[in-house]
Amino acid sequence: NAGVTQTPKFQVLKTGQSMTLQCAQDMNHEYMSWYRQDPGMGLRLIHYSVGAGITDQGEVPNGYNVSRSTTEDFPLRLLSAAPSQTSVYFCASSPTPPRGARGNTIYFGEGSWLTVV
Amino acid sequence: DAKTTQPPSMDCAEGRAANLPCNHSTISGNEYVYWYRQIHSQGPQYIIHGLKNNETNEMASLIITEDRKSSTLILPHATLRDTAVYYCIVRGYNNNDMRFGAGTRLTVKP
């Protein structure tokens, strides 16, 4: 059971370039989300999805696009990267409605380190 | 979701209990208290959650006050590997907009 898988783990971009961070989960979770974490700070929610075809904005959505064409995948797109988007990005998933003893707990990927120069 | 307040940092001696407080004075009746931790450079890890009763699992215990305005996460026998940032989050049962604050940086010392 792979859980939540993020790729790539490390990426360096030039300002203005575009890229997609991939996220996949094999737990049949309906809910998926993306967070960013800047040095010394907590996680901030970028976008989330409660099911295929449904997405919504979190705290810091500007500069990012998402789509949810399948239950398993939730890619995060940076259309024109900026140095302010240098951060560690975490993808997460959760069952919705809650299933099992852990209810609405959220499972995180290992993170993607992005540097924009 | 209700806002939470945690101390920015705490120390604990190895082998002793670590008690991490969290204030959530504006919590509403259908909101749960969740605890996660993040060990350096890793994704956050679920620890425990509860509504109003005290909870215990293999990792920790969660003590929620009777008025539900605060809670305490207890690591009964802290080890060096428990050094991490601990996040207290209040979240509605069906609300998927889970937001993390700055958390408490726990340092377990030998």
To the nearest whole number, what is the mean pLDDT of chain A?
90
Interchain CB contact of A98 with B (< 8 Å): yes
Q: Select the residue of A42, A58, A109 nearest B97 (Cβ to Cβ).
A: A58
Mean of the pLDDT values across residues B25-43?
88
The reported pLDDT for the residue numbered A104 is 64
Q: Is the pLDDT of residue B80 over 60?
A: yes
- Report chain A residues whose CB lies below 8 A from the CB of B35: none
Rounded to whole angstroms, the Cα distance separating A104 from A92 reads 12
Interval A42-54: pLDDT, tens:
888 899 998 999 9
Residue B51 burial (10 A CB sphere; 0-12, 13-18, 19+): middle
Select the more confidently predicted residue: B98 or A6. A6
The β-bridge relationship of strands B84-92 and A4-7 is unpaired
Instruction: Give the model's confidence band at B95: pLDDT under 50 very low, under 70 low, under 90 confident, else very high.
Output: low
Rounded to whole angstroms, the Cα distance separating A107 from A90 reads 10
Q: Is the pLDDT of residue B9 over 90?
A: yes
Give phi and psi for A85, each to the nearest 5.
-95, 5
- Report chain A residues whose CB lies below 8 A from the CB of B42: 110-111
- Report chain A residues whose CB lies below 8 A from the CB of B102: 41-42
The reported pLDDT for the residue numbered A100 is 45
Measure CA of the first residue to CA of the last residue in chain B; give whole Å. Answer: 37
B interface mutation test: which of A23, A56, A106 has the most B CBs within 10 A? A106
Rounded to whole angstroms, the Cα distance separating A4 from A85 reads 22
Instruction: Give the model's confidence band at B42: pLDDT under 50 very low, under 70 low, under 90 confident, else very high.
Output: confident
Q: Which of A20-34, A99-113, B28-42 has the lowest mean pLDDT?
A: A99-113
To the nearest whole number, what is the mean pLDDT of chain B?
90
